[in-house]
Structure 1
């Protein structure tokens, strides 16, 4: 007898004869039960005749089909191939600095274990003017975080509004500054101002080739050629930097930030957008974007660097130019470094406002900075190469933090898993830092300012990545204290480790800035040091509430207020904004302390009444412990903190890498993704709508 033929379902071809493929019907449940013939219709003929058409049901059956073994092998092979392609795509996305999420069609958006505890369902806006569009408030902004903290302290999320940002140079003030005549200074004064600018900002970022532009300045005065718009814009911006770094307070004759007239005049020279941009035009955009921060014009700074980014892409700055087309090594290196300065500003500016980066790392194909030889100390055109590369790598991590922690993108990884990856990158950054770029100990003398600036940026990245967890831990502690539970039973070690890392970074930042302030080397009108001090002060205030052993942190918080007040009184616009925010935080802390003290007094009276009713019992000790400051040490005492005095520099013993040396941090970084995934359902629960996971984002005042 010949073997039976199999059905080949791949191309709809059937090898069996038509007679052997008669369609077989399955009887309905009623006909099957009565063992009668069923017509197979819906409803069947018997059910219709007997009046049971509405009860005619058929059982679901999975028919078995015989197919060729080669067809099964083909399906398995194709499935494996698709899985490999999907894994390659996921790995490629993980390597991209833009933090692009994986396709997640099966991810539940309501699973808040994958989101930052500060991020709500909707973006945060404030309709500050009925005739103008609302202002977007980025959750990564420090002022936004200050508002979240105040909302926690007051317990009223809707009544505690975000503070309006009014401390910046307005367009009308800028026009008034431009209405005054601004002329080129004398040559000796111009030399001093340009050298001051190079000495301060030129040692932190690559803005211009130093030697070439000093020679250009001499040529302009020698030939009396003051009419070139690009040169005038460039040197007026440098004059503005020279003035803002050389003047300690605003003179009464000119109540505006030093250098503003030069800046205002320079802005009028770049109002047009060239069809074919050159490097000089990009240099001017970079200079003006950076100086905008001295006027607390953050949105303008972001827009200017965005214009530089787009124009840089049009002339291919993100690609290497063939050496045959650009032979001069200095010009080639200037082109490379100019791109990376734009890249750094794009990442850093966005991280300070919670705005996305404007170009992905996968679209960048230009080399990292390199050293041009021969080079001597006096005619060096560029910054130290290793220092520049360290700054670029740190800016890349900052961009990833905003994308992976503060965005509303959908990710497969949990929130803690993403934080762990970011902290691993930061730890690797510290461990691979060249020796001459590391901070020196106090015994080795003062550190150079550009080195301090780099490490302050690193600390800010750590704070930015971990402070949502710190605030979440504070909220959980308050709830467990109210329910008389032990914090250790309700908050995991991973969350406490992240909170501790945030506090370490804040203490180190505070220590570095106070040292600069005491030494008189802190720029009175600078934005970034004021911003870092404000960011660290918020963390110190939270630390003082988190554990009784951290109560000395409130001294650092108060010191920060005093420094910002002094900078504000001398005319620093950004310090004015941060000072107002910290004053409001202090009012909330004081109000909570009074309320907690009253609650403690009431508890003492109840205890005394109970003791009077039961005289045989020993008297209960007085309990004046605020609910939010329970004498339960959630965090271990910081390493090197023994004997810390509340002097001008409270946290002098802290270092950049201290947070990563803690055993709990090393254990956290060594945990697998599976272990971290199991932590989220407990620590990041959304069962209580009062948590920050479901924090509402109503229309609040502008950032």
Structure 2
């Protein structure tokens, strides 16, 4: 038994425990009115037979608990029993409800005044809902947004999205990491991400790398899209290997912003189909790491839109979700497309779930097999696991209420 010396001390108990005490008291009063009080003793009062009627773990009381919480309809007989057990002066208890199940906190005030939608499957949104409910229950006041981090506001990119002040002439070896350090950064990205995502094709990428460091950025054989790709990979590499505690921005952020400034408008830009999707995936993944979920999903720069959804659209237009069989298809190209598709699939499933929005494509429409790479069996196995986890994640996401 618990002893509380201070009578004003508050004790927190569950509603189920209070209901159990009410049921025990009602059963005791009925038993006392039916039997002679002299013939009963303390052992009879505490006997298992008595508690068998009111044990909260019996089927009857479980049904009563479910009905009182609004989870199951009450039968007429059970309603009469509950009415008989209730004293005339008692007040009916309100049914227990789950506030998270009715989507009453899906919209919250944003940092700039506009309401922000929190997706139903987003773990970030769930944490914000619980924080809001807890703050209101403890303090009785709404949660203030001044000290909260919202999507896209964790880091200051120091850029408003405009490209007017950007020139490609700034992209030269003297303004970038040295050749040896750049190779080290690229290898760090390959080591940490190469088995999970197909972010760049090493053979073709390093050919462009050699041209850039030998002839500069103005060489006609250098792809403009490769320059963007190169900067994003350098930004990833710096984030992986450079450790700092003084800076308020992650290492390599300046390289990423530079890449976004020289990102071409894809509306009329002709380039390698697979590399275009790789650049979009790299940019979306980096933004996701910066807690810019919305920007990673549909990230907009200036008048152009580059997003994970656009990458999915490009892949669908290119038929990557099919078996890709035809006399005009090169086997090497097919394997690259399959690697790219499943990388895109995993990223799209994770980002859609984190943002709490519907998936782009159903699994029933996908018939492309896994890439056949006998020389990289371990990498293929890792991708299999990644895809299986993404499929399970998609099933959970589609089954949400």
Q: Is the 8 A contact 2:105 2:129 kept in 1?
A: no
For 1:239-388, what aligned pairs fall within 5 Å after superposition?
239-250=234-245, 255-270=248-263, 272-274=265-267, 278-303=273-298, 304-327=307-330, 329-371=331-373, 373=374, 375=375, 384-388=379-383
- Which residue does the alignment assign to 2:6? none
After superposition, residues 644-655 of structure 1 pair within 5 angstroms as: none
Q: Give the C-alpha shift of residue 279 in structure 1.
A: 1.3
- 1:186 aligned residue (165, 168, 178): 178
Cα distance in 1 for residues equivalent to 2:99 and 2:134? 16
CA distance in 1, matches of 2:223, 2:203: 20
Partners in 2 of 1:393 and 1:263 — Cα distance? 31
> Structure 2 CA distance, aligned partners of 1:194 and 1:127?
41
Secondary structure in 2 matching 1:135: strand
Question: What is the rounded CA distance, in whole Å, between the counterparts of 1:383 and 1:129 in structure 2?
Answer: 45
- Structure 2 residue corresponding to 1:219, chosen from 197, 211, 216: 211
Aligned position for 1:198: 190
Structure 2: state its 5+ residue gaps.
1-69, 73-96, 299-306
Does residue 393 of structure 1 match 2:374?
no
1:125 paired with 2:107, answer yes
1:168 corresponding residue in structure 2 = 154
Q: Distance in 2 between matches of 1:116 and 1:216?
A: 57
TM-score in terms of structure 1 length: 0.37
> 2:225 is matched with which residue: 225, 230, 252?
230
TM norm structure 2: 0.62
Matches of 1:274 and 1:264 in 2, distance apart?
21
Is residue 369–residue 388 contact of structure 1 (8 Å, CA) maintained in 2?
no
> Secondary structure, in 3 states, of the residue corresponding to 2:189?
helix
Measure, in 2, the Cα distance between the counterparts of 1:116 and 1:238.
45
Root-mean-square deviation over aligned CA pairs:
3.3
Is structure 2 residue 125 aligned with structure 1 residue 144? yes
Quote the Cα distance in structure 2 between the aligned partners of 1:129 and 1:191: 40
Shift in CA distance, 292/112, structure 1 to aligned 2, threshold 3 Å: farther
Which runs of 5 or more structure 1 residues have no equivalent in the other structure? 1-110, 408-703
Distance across 2 between alignment mates of 1:396 and 1:208: 24
Q: CA deviation at 1:120?
A: 1.4
Q: Cα 1:117–1:390, aligned 2, differ >3 Å: closer, same or farther? A: farther
CA apart distance, 1:219: 3.5
Equivalent-residue separation in structure 2 for 1:147 and 1:131 (angstroms) = 17
Q: Distance in 2 between matches of 1:175 and 1:215?
A: 31
Match of 1:274, SS state, is: coil
Shift of 1:121: 4.6
Once the two structures are superposed, residues 214-272 of structure 1 have per-residue CA deviations (whole angstroms, 9 ceiling, x without a partner) of: 343223323434563211011111111111101111555xx421111111121123352
Give the whole-Å Cα distance in 1 for the aligned partners of 2:149 and 2:293.
11
Change (3 A) 1:388 1:285: same
Please state how far the C-alpha of 1:126 moved relative to its aligned partner: 2.4
Q: 1:391, CA displacement in angstroms?
A: 0.4
SS in 1 for 2:384: helix
Counterparts of 2:201 and 2:275 in 1: how far apart (Å)? 11
Q: How many residues align?
A: 284
